[in-house]
Amino acid sequence: MKSATAITKVYGDGQKFIAVAVEYDTEIDTSKLSASSFEVEGRTVTKVYANSGAAMADQGTDGKYVIVELSPDDKSALLWGGVGSGGGAPGAAQPSASASASAPASVSASASATASSAPSASSSSSPYVIPGPQVGSTGGPATIRAAKGTVTQAGTVTTTGGTGYAAGDARVSTSRTVNLIVDDFQQFTYKDPKTGRSLAYNLYVPKGYDRTKSYPLVLFMHDASLITTTVRATLVQGLGAVCWAAPEDQAERPAFVLAPQYPEVVVGDDYKPTSLFDTTVDLVKALTAKYSIDADRLYATGQSMGAMMTLGLNIKYPDLFAASWVVAGQWPAAQAAPLARKNLWVTVSQGDTKAYPGENAIMAVVEKAGTKVGRAVWDGQSGAAEFAADVKAVAARGTTVNYASFKKGSTLGGGPANAHGVEHNSTWPIAYTIEGVRAWIFEQRKTG
């Protein structure tokens, strides 16, 4: 064994250490390997095979690397540890939703908004048990544990020439890491000449980018529990950003993926955003001008605070996005009329005591404006095939606004359910696994 490389992957509940690629000095016969051939300290080995590179594969092939896959369900697999407190915002503070979905508010960004200008959810009559963070508050550094493992060859490994390497006490520790999809993003900082604000962001540029072609762009905005200056945090917390850049998605739908990392709560319970609300739009426009991005195929999505921003941006800038996916968030229904003219897919859990009634109020406004809403109730524990059929059934109606709610309690327990045990937080680890909604978003074009 010459060296070992750790391989990580992002799941709905965060980035996990899921494999080790062990390098040998000669090609290994994959047919002679089994799950008992290797041990990784403190981990459950699920599959072992050879490969020609330090990469996972559906099937093994003879090569100088042996891939040792590990169970993502191991407690020690999870690398994402959340955000610490700082500047007055608790790291566990959950993204805010309105205390009263129909309360009047302004969509105008307020650069001078401070924590004292926004009431917390705890002062409202809402039954939601976790107080919403205050606008302008900040978070501490994110905790992302390094992927490290020690591998022992526990069985005989046979080369393609027939030579056997006997099991022994030799151990090798990982010395480098491959972060699937995450490593494909680049990190930058945008200085907005209009607002004077700086905003760090992650950008995925399609592989083989060709300036003579035109590409769509997806903007993902994270929730308020992720307020931090650790720029890559939004990439490893969950699937909201990386799902669009997955190889299988990019093969079907090549696109830029933009994931800002907000250092402060941009919008809180009073729905009066900080200036980073407008800076986000200015960033989208700047990238559209810099790269060969189709201005008629700009898409927005976000979870909780990011969902609130998605709705607010569509109201203030109704001609910017061709379609948007709103996950577990809302905006005052009194301002929702412009949404009736947009292409929207809304996903929320029925047990979410703020976002669900808030979205119901918005849908009532949309329908009153004459726009038909494609409604559906889904089981959060459905598999990929079931979700595909669910999306197909809704999309077949041809509605421009679609509203899919998860049955109460169905996003909790099993699968990637959120550790907080709150249906608000457990919505997006499941929602962003649904490929059919991503496909629907890309089918929409801006008209007029």
Q: What pLDDT shows up at residue 258?
A: 99
Nearest 5°: the CA angle 81, 84, 90 is 120
Between the alpha carbon of residue 325 and those of residues 171, 256, 342, 347, 444, the distances in Å are: 47, 16, 11, 8, 12
Tens of pLDDT, residue by residue over 275-328, are 999 999 999 999 999 999 999 999 999 999 999 999 999 999 999 999 999 999
Q: What pLDDT shows up at residue 138?
A: 78
Tens of pLDDT, residue by residue over 155-175, are 999 999 999 999 987 799 999
Q: 126 phi and psi, to 5 degrees? A: -65, 140
Per DSSP bridges, beta strands 256-261 and 293-303 are unpaired
Q: Which amino acid is at 380?
A: G
- Model confidence, pTM: 0.89
Judged against a pLDDT cut of 50, whether residue 257 lies above it is answered with: yes
The residue with greater pLDDT, 396 or 105, is 396
In this predicted structure, which of 133-147, 391-405, 410-424 has the lowest mean pLDDT?
410-424
Q: Write the burial class of residue 210 (CB in 10 Å: 0-12 exposed, 13-18 middle, 19+ buried).
A: exposed
Between the alpha carbon of residue 109 and those of residues 224, 265, 279, the distances in Å are: 17, 13, 10
pLDDT band at 331 (very low <50, low <70, confident <90, very high): very high
Q: What pLDDT shows up at residue 133?
A: 65
Q: Write the burial class of residue 370 (CB in 10 Å: 0-12 exposed, 13-18 middle, 19+ buried).
A: exposed
The residue with greater pLDDT, 95 or 394, is 394
Q: Which tokens is 190 given?
A: 């945008």
Q: What pLDDT shows up at residue 100?
A: 32
Distance separating alpha carbons of residues 174 and 21, to the nearest angstrom: 9
Can you tell me the mean pLDDT for 238-263?
98
Q: What is the mean pLDDT of the chain?
A: 88
Can you tell me the mean pLDDT for 201-218?
97
Tens of pLDDT, residue by residue over 27-72, are 999 999 999 999 999 999 999 999 999 999 999 999 999 999 999 9
Please give the full DSSP string across 369-436, using - where no structure is assigned: TT--EEEEEE-TT--HHHHHHHHHHHHTTT-SEEEEEEPTTTTSSSTT--TT--TTTTTHHHHTT-HH
Asked if 147 and 6 count as a contact pair (C-beta separation under 8 A), the reply is: yes
pLDDT band at 87 (very low <50, low <70, confident <90, very high): very low
Q: 412 phi and psi, to 5 degrees? A: -100, 140
Q: Which tokens is 263 given?
A: 């250092």
Domains by residue range for the chain, with CATH: 3-77+145-179 (2.60.40.2180), 183-443 (3.40.50.1820)
In this predicted structure, which of 79-83, 302-306, 341-345, 414-418 has the lowest mean pLDDT?
414-418
Q: Which residue in the block uniquely carries the two structure tokens 């099993």? A: 414
**Segment holding 39, helix H or strand E:** strand 38-40
Distance separating alpha carbons of residues 331 and 310, to the nearest angstrom: 9
Between the alpha carbon of residue 394 and those of residues 410, 442, 443, the distances in Å are: 19, 16, 14
